[in-house]
């Protein structure tokens, strides 16, 4: 698909820079918003209608928020090939909400390291759901726009404004490539830290 219409978007970000303006722009174009936790709270405070992820999945956040987006109702739509009629049929049969845009950035593990937190506190800043969603959407860039960093907001808004809320394959591929670089660097940082943790701090 060369030009992907953006109708449904999932936003779940640690870095809230520019979030309200970006989400407001999407809403003004008729895009339905889905979100989690703190991100949803900010959007609601901005007066935007936004569904909770738990509403979409039919399952509450559990384990102190460790599990909220790891669900077929999220990853089915993220991985569905919109050029494949069988995939679209499966979404319809399973009553899965198609997702066209996913805006996610990751827990601040680097910040945890700067604070010299102990290993138990550090690992709570290892994002699981975020990288999983990012990688799924990046793999499926033919059918989903992945937005891994606020620096893309202005370009995306410009393209959507000029293309009647559709986004080009070229931009989707570019953001997918950036996504895989970001998740790779994120995992490398975590691996490096865990490898050098001494035995005493692992208790």
Q: How confident is the model at residue 192 (pLDDT cuts 50, 70, 90)?
A: confident
Are 77 and 145 within 8 A, CB to CB? no
Please classify residue 14 by burial: count the beta carbons closer than 10 Å to its beta carbon, then call 0-12 exposed, 13-18 middle and 19+ buried: middle
pLDDT one-digit tens code per residue, 12-32 = 998 999 999 999 999 999 999
- Indicate if the pLDDT at residue 74 is higher than 80: yes
* Cβ-proximal residues to 42 (8 Å cutoff; 6+ apart), any chain: 16, 19, 20
Mean pLDDT of the chain: 90
Instruction: State which residues form the domain around 189.
Output: 3-202
Give the model's confidence band at 202: pLDDT under 50 very low, under 70 low, under 90 confident, else very high: very low
Residue 150 to residue 155: CA distance in whole angstroms: 10
Q: Which pLDDT score is estimated for 3?
A: 93
pLDDT of residue 197: 63
The CATH number covering residue 181 comes to 3.40.50.1380
Name the least confident of 24-38, 95-109, 110-124, 156-170: 110-124
Tally of domains within the chain: 1
Q: pLDDT-based confidence at 39, cuts 50/70/90?
A: very high
- Residue 188 to residue 182: CA distance in whole angstroms: 10
């Amino acid at each position: 698909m060369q030009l992907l219409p953006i109708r449904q978007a999932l936003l779940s970000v640690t870095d809230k820079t520019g979030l309200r303006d970006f989400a407001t722009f999407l809403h003004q174009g008729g895009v339905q918003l889905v979100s989690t936790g703190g991100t949803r709270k900010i959007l609601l405070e901005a007066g935007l209608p936004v569904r909770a992820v738990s509403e979409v999945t039919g399952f509450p956040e559990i384990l102190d928020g460790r599990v909220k987006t790891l669900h077929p109702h999220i990853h089915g739509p993220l991985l569905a090939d919109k050029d494949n009629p069988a995939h679209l049929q499966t979404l319809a049969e399973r009553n899965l909400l198609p997702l066209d845009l996913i805006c996610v950035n990751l827990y601040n593990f680097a910040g945890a390291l700067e604070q010299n937190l102990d290993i138990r506190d550090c690992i709570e800043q290892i994002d699981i759901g975020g990288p999983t969603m990012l990688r799924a959407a990046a793999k499926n860039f033919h059918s989903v726009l992945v937005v891994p960093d606020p620096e893309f907001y202005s370009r995306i808004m410009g393209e959507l404004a000029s293309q009647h809320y559709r986004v080009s394959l070229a931009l989707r591929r570019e953001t997918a490539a950036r996504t895989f670089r970001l998740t790779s660097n994120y995992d490398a940082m975590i691996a490096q830290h865990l490898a050098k943790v001494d035995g005493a701090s692992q208790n």
